[in-house]
Every structure is written in C-alpha cells, then in structure tokens.
Structure 1
Amino acid sequence: MEPTELAVLAVGVVTAMATGTATGVGEAAGAAVTELVRSRLARTERGRAALAGIDGGGTSGPERTQAQAQAVLREEIEADPELGRQLALHLNTPTTYNRDSVVIDRSTISRSHISLGPITVNKTPGSLAVLALTGVLLLALVALGVYGGTRLIADDDPRGTDAQESGASGGKAAPDEGKAADSAGGTADRTRALTVAQTRDALPTPKDMPPGWSQEGPADAVEAEQAGACHEGDTRYAMTASGSGSVRAEFQIFGCTPPTQAERVRKQLVREQSGYDRTTPLSVAPLGDKSSTFTYYKEPEDSTNAMAVLRVGSTVGWLRFGEVNDLPGYEAQLDELARAFVGRIERTLADG
C-alpha cells in the first residue's frame, strides 16, 4: 500500500478505537495499529493536535482532524518505510470476528481495490475514508442479505505482482511440500505451526552464518497477538565488507498456522517491499517452497538493499541485506544468507 492509503486506513482504525466503533481489523491488530500511530503522532505538535481532535479535545471538526492526522502520518511513513511495513502487516493480518453468529473472515487489499469476499470497493480517497471510519460491519450486513449465511467474507489470495517469485515446481506445490528430511532419513511435517520458542530457534545462529558475521544481540520471538495469527521473531548480524564499510543482515521470521496463511504473509511482505522505486528482480535460485528475491532503492537514504522473502511450509522468512550499493558479489552473498536461513528453518521443523 502507498503511504497515503496506509495513513487513511490507520487513522481510521485509531478513530474507531477511540470512539468504540468497528475497526475492520482484529482487536489485537487494532490495538497495535493504535499504539504505532499514537506514539508516532505524539512526537510533533501537529500530530499531538490531531490526536487531541480524535480524542474529542480539539476545536476542529472530525473531517479536518482526521485529514490533519492522515497528513502527519503519511509524512512519517514516507520518512520511515519500516513504520509503513509494520502498519501494513497489522492492517492485513488475517482475522476472524464473531458477532451474533456472523463471521467475517479475512480481507484482501491490493493497489486498486479492496476485496472482502464477494464485495469489491474501489480505492478512491472517498471510499477509503468511509471504509476506515465505518469498518466492514456494514459490508457484512449487506453480504448477509445476499448470501443469507453466517460466513460472509471469504478469504481470497492477494493479487499483485511479485518482484520475482519462484518455486521448485514452477509455482505449484511440489509433491513433497510439507515434508522435510529428519535425522533418521525419514520425513517430518514442516507444515505444522512452530511454538514461540521454535520460532526463535528457527532464526539463524552464529554457527549458521558464513564467516565474518557477528550477531547484534540475541534472537527473540514474541507470541501471536491473537489465536490463528503468526508468532514473530527477529535477529540481526553485521559484517565489515572490504570497500563498502559495514553491512547488515536482518532476519525476521513468522511462525504461522497453515501454509495458506503463511503464503498470504509472504506475498504481503513482497508487495510492501516492492513498493519502492527501482525494484529489480534477482536471478537467485529457488529456495524453500516459494521465494522472491530482489533489490530496492530508498531515495531518501540513497541506498540499495537486497531482499529475500521465502516460505518453508507454514513458516515465512524475511531477509534484508545491505547496503549493497558498492558491494561486489552481493547476489551470491544474499543467496548464501538465504540458504542458511532456509536450512535453519528446515532443521528446526525436522527436530520437532
């Protein structure tokens, strides 16, 4: 999603949380979005004024208050793409809502429209603001009249163009997907969900890394905010590269439940990282069950980073390597780091 779209949706969630109305995302995701937005807006005088208006303490009308909050948040997202990535992950977290036997199950946000099961909303500024402010409850009631059932909004695979997507069987599930070799020469189910501890253990250790890399603090993982969501973990490494100064490798992992959920997370990560200018696919060999590799350019920092987003069963790995502006042979190094990541995930799954 573009910064403007993220700002509209995120401010809509904060407003809904403040007024006690439906947010369109889960309670935990709504709380996470609210915390991110409030903490960022509180840094500036304009942001604090917008928050005061959202909380009912301002002198401006609701529309002007929200427009001000959206403008400030958009600027923050443009200055800090990591903030935008975190907001997008929370706003697109698969969620299920139960309200008097009506179930709203997941939604899909693409560049041109928002799909909620059988309903598609074109992403104009007006429709985005209405959707963010009123939530999906009204759409659920409309769908109820059409279908007369309790399952209103069905999940659909996100649509979008990956920078580069590859799999061992040309994009289809390989016959042995979900199987990993164990130490006894048999197979182990790798589609199972990892525990929080296993999610942390699936991150590369110093022993898994190529020579020259030093870990910057211990690996960590946190439990999913709600039932059915993914556990998340991360760790970082640094290395002094000849002629390029220090380079970093950031690893993030998502221990999801079914492979379908993990694939949605993987695609969302690819879409968000592909939103930068000069996104260029890389010709790295396929990894895991599905993988995407590319470089992207960050104009404010005048820097280029290499990325790998991969899935092994129900586990998703996110790797950022950079800066690679003047780093020779960075594709081979990205491949080496990504293979170490996949190997660590597969061993964790095989160990059970």
Structure 2
Amino acid sequence: MDAPDLTAMAAQALSAAASGAANTAVSDLVRGRLSRSDRGRVALDELVNAPDDPEVNRGVQAALAEEISGDAEFAGQLAVLLHASSQQHTGSVVLTGSKVTRSQIALGPLTINNTPAGRLSLGAVIVLAVLMVVLAAYGGVRLLDNTDDSPRNAPSDPGAARSAGRAAALPPTTETVRQILPDRGSMDAQEYPWVGTPQVRTSAAGLSLCEAAPECEKNATAVGVVDFGRGENEGENRAEFLVLSFPDAPAAHRAYVDIVEDIEEVRVQRFIKVELERRGEESQGLDTDGTDTKSNPTELYFNRSLLFRQGAFIGLAHQMDDPTEQRSTRILSLSAILADRIARADAGKTP
C-alpha cells in the first residue's frame, strides 16, 4: 500500500466519520494525529463544517500526506488498521504475502524500508497486529476498560476493591484502633461526664463478642474498647465503644458474619435483633439483657447495641443502663459517632 493510497483511504475514513458515520480506529488515529499541527487542526475544523466539500477533502488529504511522509511509524499504524478493516473475518485477522529483501520488508500489502527506522515501524506494526487479534477474539470489546460496573465485574468479597483514586485505609494496627475510639471531645460532657482509659491490644482472644466466633477471634489484628458514663463506679447511663481491625475487608466481613451467626444460634436468650438505622457496609441492631419499657413498664434500664462493619473494621456501640426517656434511641447518636470515625479511617484519614 503506497503513500497516496494510504492517504486517500485514511482521509475517506475520517470524512465518513465527520459525515455522521460511526468513528473507527482509523478515523480516531487520523484525527488525533492531525490535531497536533496548525495545518491539521484547520483541516479538521473545515471538515466538520463541510464534510462533503471536495476542496475541504483535498485539504485534509494534503495535511495527512505530510504527516504520513514524515513519520514511517504512523504510516505503518495506518496501514495495519486499514488492511485489517478491509480483510475482516469473524474471530481472525489476516496478514498475507510477507517478504524480506535487503532493502525492503513486505508484510501483506504494506512495504517498509529495511532501515533502522523502518524496522522500528515494523515492530509497531506487529504489536498492533497482535492487539487486533486480541480484539477480534473478544468480539471488539475494549481492552483495559475497567469502567464496567456490571455485577459480573463486582468483587467476590465485600469491600475487596476500592474506588479509583480513593486513598488506602489506615493500617489495621493498635494505633489506628486507638485513634478510632471516641475521645473526650467526641462525647457530650453533660451526658457522659466520666471517661475511662482506652484499652487496646493486638488479640481478640477471650473477648466476649468473639468467644464463639472463630473468624473474629483468630483474625483480628487489634482490639480496643473505651467506656463513658456518670462515674467510674456508677452504672447509670453508660456508653461503651468497641473497635476491631482485620487484615482486609473480606476478613472483617467473615468475622462480622461469624459474630452475627453466633448471636442467632448461641446467644438467642441474651440478644434480641432489632431494626436500627444502618451503619457502615453491613450492620445489626441488638437489645441486650432487658426489654423496652414500652412493652415492659417495670423494666427501668435498657441496653441497646449496634454492630457494624466498614472496610476492614468492625465497630460496636453499646448504650447501657439508660434510665432516661431516650433509652431506646440514644444508640443512634452513639453509633453515628463511631461510624464516622471508622469511615474516616477506612478512607485513609485520621479520625
């Protein structure tokens, strides 16, 4: 395929796209190349305004001929694309008539000078040919396209993939857990005038929440707890926060499921599932050791918890011994405080 034929066919593909036909690999390549020069940009603008004007098309061909004659690699790319489009077979790309002489390399209808620059062009041609074969095998699916959000491309484990450009979560260490735990500034000092000392460790062994949940006990990398209330030895209106970290989100998900299943199967007499406002990626509300005073007026205190997972972290907010009228809803504000701090850690920010 000589330069004039290459120019004419490439210009025709570009003109067809400008007239309303679908863009092709050839038209995209040509448009991108011409947009690099002033002459090429002028030709493209004129083509958009008058795609059927013969004079405009001659101007496009002249600009394109200049690019082809000055860049053997670009010429080779065009030749491969144009040849492929004229030799289409389902599931295949055909290149025939290869020949090498001392001065020239022939690949199908394409002839390239056997010089260092020509051999470089040939390398680009071969790479493009391989890509064309892959495209044909996949029926024209775009390569390296990660924008498909359909279910078939969803990760098999919750939280296994992070959004593009999103910062990595803070590491699942005792320091991160310590930062997540609410501090004095996070809590209403009038409601909770006393704050205990945070307790942080690297193991969940012996932790009540994980005692019958092996996935939780064996995989947790850090555990932390802190209490708030009206006095170190006073039981009224206490709040407890528990945070567990895991190596990754799938491990945290398995631990969360294990804990919930344990509650359903083993501790059914101690816990009652309740519907509470959702927190994190998965959550479960629980009533503990008592019933709501609306259904049992003799019950003075009311304990309510919300267990949830976000990324590689599991949080538990627990409202205990609340004698006030807010006993059944206070857990919402407590869990919101903890969920916000975990969400920040999951987004790579210091809580």
Query: By the TM > 0.5 criterion, same fold?
Result: no
What is the TM-score when the length of structure 1 is the normalising length?
Answer: 0.41
Q: Normalising to structure 2: TM-score of the pair?
A: 0.41
Larger RCO, structures 1/2 (Cα 8 Å, 6+ apart): 1
Q: Which structure has the larger Rg over C-alpha atoms?
A: 2
- Return the structure number with greater strand share: 1
